[in-house]
Amino acid sequence: PAMTRENNCLNAAKACNLNDTCKKYRSAYISPCTSRVSSAEVCNKRKCHKALRQFFDKVPPKHSYGMLFCSCPPSDQSACSERRRQTIVPVCSYDEKQKPNCLELQASCKTNYICRSRLADFFANCQPEPRSLSGCLKENYADCLLAYSGLIGTILTPNYLRTPKISVSPFCDCSSSGNNKDECDKFTEFFAENTCLRNAIQAFGNGTDVGVWQPMPPP
């Protein structure tokens, strides 16, 4: 029990700005995601999403995941968790004036090849399996985190919800689902109540899955 509680998300941001690559690509998305383009729009969402995809493509996971998957004490609902929620600049990359239905959002994702393939990766690599020790069907947390972070910068961009437990969701809900309510609930639960994804995020945050993050030795 340390005297001052460490803020892992703040420490990750400090580490990013001390690394030239991370610093460069971090400001390269924060700029478009925080620049107002007109009185009606807070930002150019397309540019913000593109720069976010670049950040996760170009910056080594040690730094990019360090900020996205930093661990916060469950009691914390402010300094650490709020910083983690702000990583993707949700006011631009996430929020919309109206919450669309999740199945409608999924349908428009499937019309875009980047979004379609990244959603398929996410379903494949973060599939929960209650009987496995890891909680995942494919027991590879790194692949699940890669697939999850790959959704950032698509119209299904997910973010942390303000809940005590780690829970994420794209910006949509299941109101007005009609006959497809069950299908919609299954879609949202894959994000919000996914033990495989939750375990993967926690393992990274606690540094209990460190071996996987080392760069591959040259062949």
Partner 1 sequence: IAVTTRGCLLKEVHLNVTDLGLGYRTKEELIFRYCSGPCVEAETNYDKILNNLTHNRKLDKEAPSRTCCRPVAFDDDLSFLDDDVVYHTLKKHSARRCACV
Residues that bind partner 1 (CB under 8 A): 7, 10, 13-14, 17-18, 20, 23-24, 26-28, 30-31, 33-34, 82-83, 86, 89
Measured CA to CA, the distance from residue 145 to residue 65 in angstroms comes to 8
Nearer to partner 1, 71 or 134 (CB): 71
Query: Min. distance of Cβ 55 from partner 1 in angstroms?
Result: 11
Query: Min. distance of Cβ 26 from partner 1 in angstroms?
Result: 6
Query: Min. distance of Cβ 191 from partner 1 in angstroms?
Result: 24
Query: Min. distance of Cβ 94 from partner 1 in angstroms?
Result: 14
Measured CA to CA, the distance from residue 192 to residue 160 in angstroms comes to 9
Tokens of 139: 């027991």
Query: Min. distance of Cβ 49 from partner 1 in angstroms?
Result: 16
Nearer to partner 1, 14 or 186 (CB): 14
Nearer to partner 1, 84 or 198 (CB): 84
Nearer to partner 1, 73 or 189 (CB): 73
Nearer to partner 1, 91 or 124 (CB): 91
- Compute φ and ψ for 195, nearest 5 degrees: -65, -35
Q: Note the helical H segments in the chain.
A: 8-17, 20-34, 45-58, 61-68, 79-86, 90-93, 102-109, 113-125, 141-150, 181-192, 195-206
Measured CA to CA, the distance from residue 17 to residue 31 in angstroms comes to 15
Nearer to partner 1, 28 or 114 (CB): 28
Measured CA to CA, the distance from residue 192 to residue 200 in angstroms comes to 14
Query: Min. distance of Cβ 99 from partner 1 in angstroms?
Result: 22
- Between the alpha carbon of residue 17 and those of residues 10, 11, 214, the distances in Å are 11, 10, 21
